[in-house]
Amino acid sequence: MSRETTILGYTITSDNLVRLCVFLFPIFAVSVRHWVSVIFVFLGVVAIFQYVRKRNLAAPLFKEEKTLLIIMAASFVVYLLSSAANGWGKPAFYALGTESRFLLFIPLYFLLRELPGLSRNLFFGCVFGVFVALLQALYDVYVQDIGRANGYYGPLFIGPVTVIFALLILSTQVGFVFRFKKTVLTLIAVAATVVAALAVARSAFFVCVVALIFLFSLAAPNWRILIAKIVGSLVIVVAAWMLSSQLRDVGNKTFTEFSDYYTFFMKHPDQPNPYGHGSAGVRLEMLRSVQYFLQESPILGVGRYNYSLYAKKYSEQGKVNPAVAEHGHPHNVFAEALVSKGLLGFVVVVLMFFYPLYIFIRDFRKSRTSARAGIYFISTILIVMQTDNAVIIMGNFVAVFLLLLAVLFSWHINSVKQLPINTSC
């Protein structure tokens, strides 16, 4: 049961407060400093107090839920082990705030799983969040004149996060009932594509393009409408591409860097790549450098925020391109896990993404809507994080990932375990 509080004559229950927080969570995620972190931590604290007050769960955890919570706890334990092995210096303590969120996920999940229909609060918040992000992107580019959409945390946050919000809405469109539904959903698709293009976030733009075409294809009732939707999607994509000269330039440079890197790597696989000074080239060189970190500390890694220290050493030894040492972390989620937490951390991160994805795919026929949302969410994260690692090291991105995962996973498990088979598309 939720507690009630009366403010200025209005009755507010703790359940409604949680729903309000989840609704507000995505709205200013990309625009207001620490917005998502504050809401995430607040809900975590509320969850702890709720659990202490009740001292028991309203409903027992299912096996799938227990496994997910164990994975999150393991992530924090590996961080402790890695920090102990590499010395509890300033970097390890600095990472504590972010790493503790994986532990806070446990009471947060207990709280959110007890509220039926919470996914609708999140999705309608995402609707507003996409359009707020669009306004922020337009303001950054055309009013601030800073060249690309930046938001508060930079292009690699506003681009991917907006795409994630949009794809959640579009993937669950059958669950929405409101006026002008098709118009709103089309505007959401356009807004997300424009934000990704203005942010010049290559991975976000790529996943947006592929996912939109795939989503519209699934929703088409016959081949004529299917062709019309694919053509419409391509028109949106081409328009965004043509209107963004930066995006075209980045695309051309990326192709050149990949080509140069591949050619050199085939001839000199163990030598630093001289073409690794561009964005894509440096990322490829970072991936190649992971082998040296594993030789240094294969089981527990070199610790959080120690990447640049060791990269500089390898650069001085002539093993990697000096450009690699200019960055504070490798721009790949799995490379980051291997570098900072070793093979143990890598296994945990793989489970963190692929176990929920496996559950969503396994039970797709039992609850198509929740499974589709979960599949698109995890897949989007995985694609975007091949050129970034913010989802496990940046506090605000971690908050977005964990809260959305808690809502989607609890919704899916509840749908599968409690409800009859849902065969709707």
How does DSSP assign 286-303, residue by residue? Answer: HHHHHHHHHHH-TTT-S-
Q: How much is the pLDDT for 206?
A: 75
Q: Is residue 425 one of the residues assigned to a domain?
A: no
278 contact partners, CB below 8 Å, separation of at least 6: 253, 254, 256, 257
Percent of the chain at pLDDT exceeding 90: 48
Domain boundaries, position 294: 247-323
Q: Which of 5-14, 15-24, 187-196, 410-419 has the highest mean pLDDT?
A: 15-24
CA nearest neighbour of 289 among 263, 327, 319, 328: 319
Q: How much is the pLDDT for 389?
A: 84
Average pLDDT of the segment spanning 134-153: 92
CA 278 from chain centre, in angstroms, equals 25
Among residues 296, 323, 350, the one where a domain terminates is: 323
408 contact partners, CB below 8 Å, separation of at least 6: 119, 168, 370, 373, 374, 377
For residues 190, 196, 198, 202, the Cα torsion angle rounded to the nearest 10 degrees is: -140
Q: Is residue 319 one of the residues assigned to a domain?
A: yes
Q: How much is the pLDDT for 387?
A: 82
Q: Which of 135-144, 189-198, 202-211 has the highest mean pLDDT?
A: 135-144
Same domain, 232 and 354: yes
Same domain, 258 and 340: no
pTM score: 0.87
Same domain, 316 and 298: yes
Among residues 280, 299, 323, the one where a domain terminates is: 323
pLDDT per residue over 212-264, tens digit each?
A: 766 666 555 555 666 666 666 666 666 665 555 565 666 666 667 767 777 77
Same domain, 105 and 208: yes
Same domain, 353 and 292: no
Q: Is residue 181 one of the residues assigned to a domain?
A: yes
pLDDT per residue over 283-341, tens digit each?
A: 888 888 999 999 999 999 999 889 999 999 999 998 988 888 888 889 899 999 999 99
pLDDT per residue over 127-142, tens digit each?
A: 999 999 999 999 999 9
Dist. CA 276–CA 282, nearest whole Å: 5
Inter-residue long-range contacts of 274-279, CB under 8 Å, 24+ positions, other chains counted: 274/321, 276/321, 276/323, 276/324, 277/321, 277/323, 278/253, 278/254, 279/250, 279/253, 279/254
367 contact partners, CB below 8 Å, separation of at least 6: 412, 415, 416, 419, 421, 422
Same domain, 221 and 301: no
CA nearest neighbour of 290 among 383, 210, 389: 389
Q: Which residues of 410-424 are buried (b: 16+ CB within 10 A; e: fewer)?
A: bbbbbbbeeeeeeee
Same domain, 239 and 268: no
CA 326 from chain centre, in angstroms, equals 25
Q: Is residue 76 one of the residues assigned to a domain?
A: yes
CA nearest neighbour of 372 among 174, 161, 129, 230: 174
Same domain, 340 and 252: no
Dist. CA 209–CA 380, nearest whole Å: 11
Domain count along the chain:
2
Same domain, 310 and 406: no
Phi, psi of 222, rounded to the nearest 5 degrees: -150, 170
DSSP-assigned beta bridge partners for residue 299: none
Q: Is residue 288 one of the residues assigned to a domain?
A: yes
Among residues 301, 323, 345, the one where a domain terminates is: 323
Same domain, 316 and 338: no
pLDDT-based confidence at 416, cuts 50/70/90? very high
Same domain, 227 and 314: no
Residue 339 and residue 307 in contact, taking contact as beta carbons nearer than 8 Å: yes
Q: Is residue 34 one of the residues assigned to a domain?
A: yes
Average pLDDT of every residue of the chain: 84
Same domain, 123 and 41: yes
Q: Is residue 328 one of the residues assigned to a domain?
A: no
Does residue 210 surpass a pLDDT of 80? no
Q: Is residue 72 one of the residues assigned to a domain?
A: yes
Percent of the chain at pLDDT exceeding 70: 80
Which tokens belong to 136? 């922020």
Q: Which of 57-66, 212-221, 275-284 has the highest mean pLDDT?
A: 57-66
pLDDT-based confidence at 7, cuts 50/70/90? very low
